[in-house]
């Protein structure tokens, strides 16, 4: 499946109730966003919305400084206002970025209702009791911001919620699918998943498997099936590829990158 981003600035096709949503051309900036988004950021928003309406998860892997946070905020307000994905959404990241996320929401999209789940045990209990008891879909907030550590500690409360978008900043933190954080975030009920990273993907089979499993758990269900797929790919390449094209396992890595390509945007 290839989701091509049309560069022409045609008007987007609006959602029609009861019909499949189609998006063509670059989307316009959401009315709820304050300030002016750059054209490439609108392209990023369009690409993410194309994935969303196709019921596909993705990776926004732009280099640092290109505005992944703003693009993500614009995605969340768009899918919420259009009813494509229902809130609440969750954004998880390192502790050092938590207040930055909160500040960016306040700056660019103050209409979205944001809560922070962090602090001491008592402070977290207070937040959970005030906002997260109306399960499975609380309506008193739009986005919950939290950290990797709190995500693990408060997993029991977070698992009770049916999340809209689950956004994970610094996606490389789940490259080990056996880590406690990786296991926890995979256990959440989500409608869509979005990974953010400024780090290029490494030629590492375990990391690629972890990303594919997180994005498409119903397809890449377990490591044994994955290993079997890799073996079949290697056999097919050995049978068809030119000798000079085969260098160890690079043919397998190349195929995995091709599998990921439609689900990842890096500029």
Q: What is the mean pLDDT of residues 184-202?
A: 89
Q: What is the mean pLDDT of residues 236-259?
A: 61
Cβ(185)–Cβ(213) under 8 Å? no
Give the whole-angstrom CA distance, residue 172 versus residue 198: 9
What are the distances in angstroms from CA 108 to CA 18, 127, 152, 216, 218? Answer: 32, 24, 29, 31, 35
Give the whole-angstrom CA distance, residue 254 versus residue 130: 48
What's the pLDDT score for residue 254? 77
Give the whole-angstrom CA distance, residue 51 versus residue 5: 11
Residues 122-170 pLDDT 10s: 999 999 999 999 888 899 999 999 999 999 999 999 999 999 999 999 8
pTM of the model: 0.82
* Domains, in order of start, for the chain: 39-265 (3.40.50.10810)
pLDDT(10) > 60: no
Phi, psi of 186 (to 5 degrees): -70, -20
Closest CA to 76 of 98, 54, 100, 108: 108
Give the whole-angstrom CA distance, residue 250 versus residue 203: 8
Closest CA to 258 of 208, 223, 215: 208
Residues 98-130 pLDDT 10s: 999 999 999 999 999 999 999 999 999 999 999
What's the pLDDT score for residue 203? 66
Phi, psi of 48 (to 5 degrees): -65, -35
Cβ(208)–Cβ(195) under 8 Å? no
Averaging pLDDT over each range in 61-65, 98-102, 239-243, which range is the top one? 98-102
Mean pLDDT for the chain overall: 84
Cβ(8)–Cβ(25) under 8 Å? yes
pLDDT(53) > 50: yes
pLDDT(88) > 60: yes
Residue 211's Cβ-count burial label (10 Å; 0-12, 13-18, 19+) is buried
Cβ(144)–Cβ(128) under 8 Å? no
CB atoms within 10 A of CB 33: 18
């Amino acid at each position: 499946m290839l989701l091509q981003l049309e560069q022409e600035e045609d008007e987007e096709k609006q959602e029609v109730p009861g019909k499949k949503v189609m998006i063509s051309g670059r989307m316009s900036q959401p009315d709820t966003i304050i300030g002016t988004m750059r054209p490439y950021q609108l392209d990023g928003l369009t690409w993410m919305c194309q994935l969303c309406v196709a019921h596909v998860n993705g990776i926004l892997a732009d280099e640092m400084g290109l505005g992944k946070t703003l693009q993500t905020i614009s995605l969340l307000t768009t899918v919420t206002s259009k009813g494509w994905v229902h809130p609440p959404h969750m954004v998880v990241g390192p502790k050092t970025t938590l207040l930055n996320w909160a500040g960016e929401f306040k700056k660019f999209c103050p209409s979205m209702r944001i809560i922070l789940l962090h602090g001491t045990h008592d402070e977290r209990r207070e937040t959970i009791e005030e906002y997260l008891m109306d399960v499975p879909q609380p309506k008193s907030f739009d986005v919950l911001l939290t950290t990797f550590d709190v995500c693990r500690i408060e997993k029991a409360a977070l698992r009770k919620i049916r999340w809209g978008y689950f956004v994970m900043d610094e996606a490389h933190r789940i490259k080990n699918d056996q880590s406690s954080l990786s296991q926890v975030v995979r256990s959440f009920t989500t409608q869509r998943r979005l990974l953010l990273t400024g780090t290029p993907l490494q030629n590492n089979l375990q990391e690629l498997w972890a990303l594919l499993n997180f994005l498409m758990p119903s397809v890449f269900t377990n490591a044994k099936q994955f290993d079997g797929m890799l073996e079949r790919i290697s056999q097919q390449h050995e049978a068809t590829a030119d000798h000079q094209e085969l260098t160890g396992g690079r043919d397998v890595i190349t195929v995995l990158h091709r599998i990921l390509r439609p689900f990842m945007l890096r500029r």
